A = this chain, B = another copy of it.
Amino acid sequence: MARTPTTHDPFNAVAEPKRRQVLAVMGTEELSVNEIVERLGWNQPSVSKHLGVLKQVGLVSERRVGRQRMYRVNAERLRPIFDWVTPFEQFWNERFDRLDIVLQEMQKKDK
């Protein structure tokens, strides 16, 4: 068996750094392929291929307008990643919680 395909889910699609770049450069706007190509400075087939993967996992939506294809980020598909990673936040915030307690104790002693 091989690696989980990039088109299998958002986790795999977004593992590729260039695909994260594509989403970043798109922001909240609806853009044509050429606009994305210009912003990234990559060649057109490369952009189209990455958009194809993102579309397959639902991370972008596509709308045809004349000979253009307008793409837009569908951020909700990132929610599984957000939901999965968020609980871990407490682990690196824990020390700050403890630091808060320490600081509170120090204040009490100062009084």
Contact = CB atoms under 8 A, between A and B. Distances in A.
A111 interface: no
Main secondary structure of the interface of A (DSSP, over half): helix
A11 B4 contact: no
A82 B81 CA distance: 8
Interface string A62-102: 00000000000101101101101110110110000000000
A56 interface: no
Interface residues of A, number: 25
Given A78-B88, A88-B75, A17 B4 contact: yes
Interface of A: 3-4, 6, 11-12, 14-17, 20, 28, 73, 75-76, 78-79, 81-82, 84-86, 88-89, 91-92
